[in-house]
Structure 1
Amino acid sequence: MNVFEALRASHDIQRELSEKLVQTSGDSAERRELFDLLKNELFAHAVAEDRYFYIPLMMTDSGLNITRHALSEHHEIDELLEQLTETEFNNPSWLAIAKKLCELVHHHLKEEEHGFFQQAGKILSESEKTSLAQQYLAEYKKYKRADKESLT
């Protein structure tokens, strides 16, 4: 497995959770559970991706610009998650913020998969792609909440 395949696996989870989240309403157990799962998925993914994809790319001149842009979007996602955390689940603005988060997540993932990955593929060697995948997955699993099953 290379780093792109490893990242895409989490991307698929992020898409699914964010799409389900915006279909919820009010202060429901489903909304709370999906938000908790999405928040954890985004956090585990971003920590591992920053460390084992973007920082290595940042060390190259050609990877600097894509890295800056992606990290900026990670920050925007964090800010929206913080807003959602601080807003009551039954507040009408909660869903509007969640939709904005969903749109940003989808935009970011599309940009990564259809732009950043191609550029990074030219920068990283095959052995780096494999090594970074292993490091990413180990870090991702460290931050991925183990008690996910207890939420259902």
Structure 2
Amino acid sequence: MVPIIADDKRLAIAVKLADIKALQELLITIEQRLVTLSDDPDIRKRLGDMLADDQKNLTIIENTIIQYGVKGEPRDTVVEMTDKLNDLMQSSKLSLYDKFSQLELLKHQAAMAGILVHKAAQLVGADIDAAIAPLNTVNFENRAHQEQLKGILEVLGTRELTGKEADQGLWARVQDSLAALSGVFGSVISHGEGGADMKVTDIVRMDHQKVNMLFGQIQGTNDPAKKLEFFNQLYGDLSAHAEAEDQTWYADLKRFDDSIEKAEFAYKDQDELVALLEQVKTSGIDSAEFDSRLAQLQQKVTSHVNYEEAELFAKLRQHFSDEQLREMGKQFQMAKSRYQDIRQQQMTGRS
């Protein structure tokens, strides 16, 4: 039997993603506090825009973790560091300049963590690189925020040391830095992708694309360890996807007379798909039946995907507004996340 466990490298990336989420939550907390402390309208406006970006980016990070399909907990050292820094930022020990300086350092830490995950994903598997692609937006905006924070630090530092205002050309230089940064990152930024405003159809299509990659990776390697790694990811992704569809938008479609038959067919077809998935899992990658059963599963998945995207997506667009489809996307992601949490508990032997 194939043991359904996450590869060590994939678990390490999951832990790093959990670290990134913890850092992002601390960034938001600190920015909310600093907005109330600054009496400079320009700084307050820039910080407010930064806060709005970071709140949006937290949703991107959360969705990326769900798309990744393996969950981890932040490292104890990260939890300890965030707790200590949060306490320090609430105290009167630091000047306003010092607090913004700590924020800039935290932005740098978050940006480097995101870049590290991106580099690791390129080495571990194409499916991971695809799942975490929306982090490109977060990484870019963290770097852009650093440039703005450097400008804020120059203003606050000059005031604290001299009581005078900094060079009036400061913000023009900041804008030049942002433009240069945008030129470097422009080709890899995926604004909106993976964010809070994704329709359920977009998220489901992303899942389909990732699963297709995993089939290719399984078939493209002769290394038993890699084949097992890729199949374990495929098993987890397909299982979570099927469970979430059954609980959310399939049920939503059954509310309409002209969609009941199509939704019921999708339920039945998906049950057959999951049964095939379990057969492949049971056979084991070393068995003579593995490749043939995997091919049957891939054929079933392909036909199921084509039916969903051609027939069911049309019914979704017919019966639901864009706003409703975005809300259904949130519900779909939440259902996937709940399933992943349960599976993670089973994998680690927790009750």
- Contact 1:62-1:123 within 8 A present in 2 as well: no
Q: What TM-score, normalized by structure 1, do the two folds share?
A: 0.86
Identity within the alignment, %: 24
C-alpha offsets along residues 70-103 of structure 1, whole Å, 9 cap, x if unaligned? 1111111111111112213211211000011011
Name the counterpart of 1:141. 337
- Contact 2:253-2:315 within 8 A present in 1 as well: no
Higher RCO (CA < 8 A, seq sep 6+) = 1
Q: Which has the higher helix share?
A: 1
- Contact 1:11-1:109 within 8 A present in 2 as well: yes
Name the counterpart of 2:201. 4
| Corresponding position: 1:119 with 2:315 | yes
- Contact 1:83-1:97 within 8 A present in 2 as well: yes
Q: What TM-score, normalized by structure 2, do the two folds share?
A: 0.39
Whichever residue aligns with residue 101 of structure 1, its letter is L
Within the candidate set 102, 105, 110, 2:301 is matched to 105
- Alignment partner of 1:91: what SS? coil
Name the counterpart of 1:15. 212
- Alignment partner of 2:289: what SS? helix
How many correspondences in the alignment? 146
Distance change >3 Å, CA 96–CA 6, structure 1 → 2 = same
Offset at 1:136?
0.7
- Alignment partner of 2:229: what SS? helix
**Superposition pairs for residues 36-75 of structure 1, below 5 Å?**
36-75=232-271
Distance change >3 Å, CA 24–CA 68, structure 1 → 2 = farther
Name the CA distance, whole Å, in 2 between partners of 1:54 and 1:22.
31
Name the counterpart of 2:229. 33
Moved over 6 A (4+): none
Offset at 1:128?
2.0
**Gapped runs of 5+ residues in structure 1?**
148-152
**Superposition pairs for residues 87-98 of structure 1, below 5 Å?**
87-98=283-294
Name the CA distance, whole Å, in 2 between partners of 1:38 and 1:133.
21
Name the CA distance, whole Å, in 2 between partners of 1:117 and 1:31.
32
Structure 1 vs Structure 2 CA RMSD: 1.9
Name the CA distance, whole Å, in 1 between partners of 2:291 and 2:222.
8
Name the counterpart of 1:150. none
Worse-superposed segment, 85-94 or 32-41: 85-94
Is the radius of gyration larger for structure 1 or structure 2?
2
Name the CA distance, whole Å, in 1 between partners of 2:319 and 2:258.
8
C-alpha offsets along residues 102-136 of structure 1, whole Å, 9 cap, x if unaligned? 11111111221122101221122333212111111
**Gapped runs of 5+ residues in structure 2?**
1-197, 345-351
Name the CA distance, whole Å, in 1 between partners of 2:284 and 2:334.
34
Distance change >3 Å, CA 103–CA 24, structure 1 → 2 = farther
